[in-house]
Amino acid sequence: MMGKRSVVTAMALLCVGSMALSGCESGEASKTASDGKPIVTVQIVKDARTEKMSELGWTKDLEAACDCHIEWHETVSSSWDQQKKASLAAEEVCIAAIGGFGSGDMAEYASLFLDLTDELDNMPNLKRLFEAEPYAQALSTTADGKILGAPSVGRTITARTSNHMFINKQWLDKLGLQVPTTWDELEQVLKAFKTEDPNGNGEADEIPLDFNSPGTGGFGLFQPNVLLSSLGIVVGNGPLGMYVDNGEVKNYLTDERYKEVVEFLHRLWQDGVISNEAFTHDWSKYTSTAKGEGDTAKVGVTWMWTPSDIFGTELADQYITIPSLKASADQEELPVWSYNGDELAYQVDRAVISANPSNKEAALKLVDAFYSPDISVQAHYGSFGTCVKKNGEGDYTVLDPADSTKNASDWQFANSLADGAPGWIGGGMKLELPAQHTEYREADKVYDDDFSRVDFNNDVFYANMPLTMEQSRTVSANNTGITQGAMSKFAQWVTKGGVDEEWDAYVDNLQKNNLDDNIKTYQQVYDSFKKTMNKVGVDYNTINDEG
């Protein structure tokens, strides 16, 4: 995906200046190398840790599969957004693009991308994937029946959530405290973390609670809106505030339960137990702080994919996963948990081809090659010999990092597209993974009871549901005012208070910015997608169980 760490990696990227899309112009002439093989220009949007594509051994296998030469145009994700807008406005896209475009682009700029529906006979690997994974084809099909992008599927290597909540068990044991089960108990534990020197270094340097800083564009992963799960709301894939309850699309931004979460967080802020940089630090500072100093931990509680990802391998063993908390001990509503498993397992439009590509045959071969077992594994984990051992056909062992200074995640992202790769991890392949790559399974298992209370067919806002052009434009036009009104107030209310006094005016403002209109639109999108799922016979509860 960028799947299991899809938003993790996007936020982890270092900013670079925008670069022009030279060589990626609409209708560009066919190019041929001196050996007579076609040249395919490929826009690749990747993690900042990834080496140059031409230096990754597996890209030579990709070129061999398409019998072509690839001219890479590389951009890290943090600089892509503005570049993409300029590219789409100018109607200039590369022959192929990996990781650069999404379902919203397919709705707004469909004419720029090749419909793969009638090309599947020329793409046997992708065709085989769609036959085995009808949900992947449903997600990849636009509202008007086109397939404008090829997905990434990896149900066998994903969890149900990215938002695992971790607490330092070593600190709890030292202070004689139990794992909290309610908000009040969490508050008392955090106060003790602040005042009783649990890391034992004689300094008041502990940060009881930290989180990934919410941006002006809305909530992402590893942020405290996850606490809505305590009150029965399945936070997950939805655009800002959207969720589903028994088949009905709703929005928590104007829900009294959201106000409860804000009031609780303000109480924690007044207690001084939330990092004073929680709303200002960048991703690098957030993750480096959590890694502490040597074997001395600094952060008590936060959210992340796995302990080693956020705390590093030296400190990971100090942390355990906390099951969902109750807001209060006597509440009747049973907690659930945050879900984005479909977004992790099924990513849409990971690879697209321009509408009128030069060297079309080579471009189709190139994209299809990503869905062969060998390229799927290498594009996700790294080259054979260095990162992966091929034991036989469809049988692979992912190796431990050859660089002892890197954890498994950093090594993976240095040598592959990792979660950003198109491909199919599954399909009967045998894949043995190092311990760090399976660490998420234990973290995820803690939420079994919470997920048992979720009906995945009726209580999940599915990721990447296709919108029509009109629907996309409607929600896009409304989102600016909604997002500005919501996110500025969230930070203000947590740090300065005032939610109770300002609540009615805030709700009125969001309604004036057409929040209800967006809810109505997403209900239409949801209902339409459910019909598609029913048509192809998808039972999402079964998909979740198998994944």
The pLDDT tens digits for 46-63 are 999 999 999 999 999 999
Strand, coil or helix: 415: helix
Single-letter residue type at 397: T
Distance CA 343, CA 221 (A): 12
Token pair listed for 160: 């149900």
Distance CA 244, CA 255 (A): 13
Token pair listed for 388: 């992966």
Is there a contact between 197 and 42 (Cβ–Cβ < 8 Å)? no
The pLDDT tens digits for 461-495 are 998 898 988 998 999 999 999 999 999 999 999 99
Mean per-residue pLDDT, 250-275 = 98
Strand, coil or helix: 389: strand
Which H/E stretch holds residue 70?
strand 69-76
Burial class (CB in 10 A: 0-12, 13-18, 19+), 131: exposed
Token pair listed for 482: 């909604």
Beta strands 423-424 and 346-353, pairing class: unpaired
The pLDDT tens digits for 388-398 are 999 999 999 99
Residue with tokens 């794992």: 179
What pTM, to 2 d.p., does this model score?
0.84
What are the distances in angstroms from CA 252 to CA 163, 214, 446? 18, 16, 25
Q: Is the pLDDT of residue 131 over 60?
A: yes
- Looking at the chain, the whole-number percentage of residues with pLDDT higher than 90 is 74
Which H/E stretch holds residue 261?
helix 256-271
Which H/E stretch holds residue 160?
none
Q: Is the pLDDT of residue 223 over 60?
A: yes
pLDDT: which is higher, 22 or 194? 194
* Phi, psi values for residue 6, rounded to 5°: -55, -55
Beta-bridge partner residues of 392: 395
Token pair listed for 273: 């137990």
How many helices (H) and strands (E) would you count in the chain? 21, 16
Distance CA 461, CA 115 (A): 26
Beta-bridge partner residues of 153: 346, 424
The alpha carbon dihedral of 475, 476, 482, 488 has a sign of positive
What pLDDT, on the 0 to 100 scale, is given for residue 20?
Answer: 40
What pLDDT, on the 0 to 100 scale, is given for residue 28?
Answer: 60
